[in-house]
């Protein structure tokens, strides 16, 4: 299997070997140590600062999106949501479900957020901002510096879903003044799905302490309290947390977050070079290093996905809904190499010879 989807992605041998081990009991000093190390490395890689905290939620990325919305906002807030695709729409739905007053900035497929669009909302009393810095569904990467500046100017609490962008694109939580950053195990962390991660600034922790949440599992106060001793309120996905630990330590040893991001950036660049001349159009105004969204000019995108899967054993990421036949995405995260890019590009060339691209 050669997997170019955007998650779950391929894990390296080290991470997979841990997956084959027995899962240990976790109310132990040994597991606490792993969790404390996980928290420290997440803070380091997110550049969150010493006073930040990290919560590990057993659940996919959406669980952490929901926990965040529930714990940091309430009916007295007024939240601005960037909705440029299915993940932006998810934040809108979460505000609806949890009765958080909001307005959305709706963007057309493939379009970046522009300063003029944002400036309209300046001085309008917004208290919160929700954005998926990389809208993975369309492959659009937003200008986070511009968003950060807008939030700083207006004193707005900034929440960044960086689930598919963390490790793939530069991110400096402290400098950006982002109060919350969310990521997940199955994207560039390249572990199995089942854990998502919420990095919280000191201000975010204070906000959580001041809110009461009508939910047991997603009450972050209790997660923060337990986290002080390297524990979680309930049984977490122990095995995945051990895999995350190995992965974070490997990144640290290899040179840290900058080295990892450069590796992903180089893979993306290599792929984008190699597809030049093939009948594709790149459909995003502004891309993350994590993903290249492609529109095949002559055939259905879904048919290309199916042919690659069935006849070449290669997985790219199909799109759903309206984009099903026009766009598929190629990921550059996970245990992939430039040779793997060549294998995929050769499959494209073969499809072209067969008149299927
Ligand atoms: C993958 C992803 C999520 C999380 O989706 P889950 O299926 O719940 O893990 C959320 N936001 C973005 C931008 C993503 O790429």
Nearest C-alpha neighbor of 190 from the set 15, 5, 36: 15
Q: Is 154 in the pocket of ligand 1 (CB under 6 A)?
A: no
Q: Is 61 in the pocket of ligand 1 (CB under 6 A)?
A: yes
pLDDT interval class at 1 (50, 70, 90): confident
Residue with tokens 């707005």: 156
Tell which atom from ligand 1 comes closest to the C-alpha of 7. Answer: 1
Centre of ligand 1 to C-alpha 29, Å, is 32
> pLDDT for 169-221, tens place per residue?
999 999 999 999 999 999 999 999 999 999 999 999 999 999 999 999 999 99
pTM of the model: 0.98
CATH code of domain 13-253: 3.40.640.10
Centre of ligand 1 to C-alpha 163, Å, is 6
Centre of ligand 1 to C-alpha 11, Å, is 18
Tell which atom from ligand 1 comes closest to the C-alpha of 162. Answer: 13
Q: Is 352 in the pocket of ligand 1 (CB under 6 A)?
A: no
**Three-state DSSP class for 149?**
helix
Q: Which residues contact 203 (CB under 8 A, 6 or more apart)?
A: 157, 179
Q: Is 88 in the pocket of ligand 1 (CB under 6 A)?
A: no
Rounded Cα distance between 332 and 267, Å, is 6
Rounded Cα distance between 161 and 243, Å, is 22
Tell which atom from ligand 1 comes closest to the C-alpha of 62. Answer: 8
Q: Is 161 in the pocket of ligand 1 (CB under 6 A)?
A: yes
Tell which atom from ligand 1 comes closest to the C-alpha of 184. Answer: 9
Q: Which residues contact 317 (CB under 8 A, 6 or more apart)?
A: 4, 5, 6, 291, 305, 328, 329, 330, 331
Q: How far is CA 112 from CA 34, 62, 245, in A?
A: 39, 23, 34
Q: If you average pLDDT over residues 298-315, what whole number do you get?
A: 98
Q: Is 164 in the pocket of ligand 1 (CB under 6 A)?
A: yes
Q: Is the peptide bond before 29 cis (omega within 30 degrees of 0)?
A: no
- Sheet strands (E) in the chain: 2-3, 53-58, 79-83, 102-106, 128-132, 134-135, 140-141, 157-161, 180-184, 195-200, 280-282, 291-296, 314-315, 317-318, 328-331
Domain 256-353: which topology?
A: 3.90.1150
pLDDT interval class at 3 (50, 70, 90): very high
Tell which atom from ligand 1 comes closest to the C-alpha of 187. Answer: 1
Tell which atom from ligand 1 comes closest to the C-alpha of 196. Answer: 9
Ligand 1, atom 12, residue with closest C-alpha = 163
**Three-state DSSP class for 264?**
helix
Query: What are the domain boundaries of the chain?
Result: 13-253, 256-353
Q: Examine the pLDDT at 88 and tell me if it is beyond 90.
A: yes
Centre of ligand 1 to C-alpha 151, Å, is 23
> pLDDT for 137-146, tens place per residue?
999 999 999 9
Nearest C-alpha neighbor of 328 from the set 99, 136, 41: 136
Ligand 1, atom 3, residue with closest C-alpha = 61
Structure tokens at 289: 């290093």
Q: Examine the pLDDT at 149 and tell me if it is beyond 90.
A: yes
Average pLDDT, the chain: 98
């Amino acid at each position: 299997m050669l997997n170019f989807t955007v998650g779950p992605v391929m894990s390296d041998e080290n991470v997979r070997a841990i997956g084959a081990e027995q899962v240990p009991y976790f109310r132990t000093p040994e597991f606490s140590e792993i969790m404390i190390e996980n928290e420290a490395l997440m803070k380091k890689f997110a550049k969150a600062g010493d006073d930040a905290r990290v919560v590990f939620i057993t659940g996919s990325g959406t669980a952490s999106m929901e926990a965040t919305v529930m714990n940091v906002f309430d009916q007295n807030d007024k939240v601005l949501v960037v909705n440029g695709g299915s993940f932006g729409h998810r934040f809108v739905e979460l505000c609806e479900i949890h009765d958080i007053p909001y307005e959305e900035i709706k963007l057309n497929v493939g379009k970046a957020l522009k300063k003029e669009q944002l400036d309209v909302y300046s001085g309008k009393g917004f208290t919160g901002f929700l954005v998926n810095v990389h809208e993975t569904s369309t492959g659009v990467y937003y200008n986070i510096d511009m968003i950060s500046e807008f939030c700083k100017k207006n004193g707005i609490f900034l929440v960044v879903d960086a689930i598919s962008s963390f490790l793939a694109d530069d991110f400096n939580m402290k400098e950006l003044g982002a109060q919350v950053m969310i990521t997940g195990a199955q994207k560039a962390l390249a572990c199995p799905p089942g854990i998502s991660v919420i990095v919280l600034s000191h201000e975010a922790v204070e906000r959580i302490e001041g809110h009461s949440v009508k939910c047991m599992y997603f009450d972050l106060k209790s997660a923060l309290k337990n986290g002080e001793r390297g524990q979680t309120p309930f049984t977490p996905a122990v095995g995945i947390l051990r895999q995350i630990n190995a992965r974070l330590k490997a990144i640290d040893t290899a040179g840290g977050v900058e080295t990892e991001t450069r590796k992903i950036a180089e893979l993306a660049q290599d792929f984008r070079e190699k597809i030049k001349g093939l009948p594709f159009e790149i459909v995003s105004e502004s891309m993350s290093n994590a993903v290249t969204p492609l529109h095949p000019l002559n055939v259905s995108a879904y048919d290309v996905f199916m042919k690659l899967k069935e006849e070449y054993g290669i997985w790219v990421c199909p799109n759903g809904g309206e984009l099903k036949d026009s766009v598929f995405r190629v990921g550059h995260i996970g245990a992939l190499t430039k040779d793997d890019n060549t294998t995929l590009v050769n499959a494209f060339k073969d499809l072209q010879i067969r008149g299927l691209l």
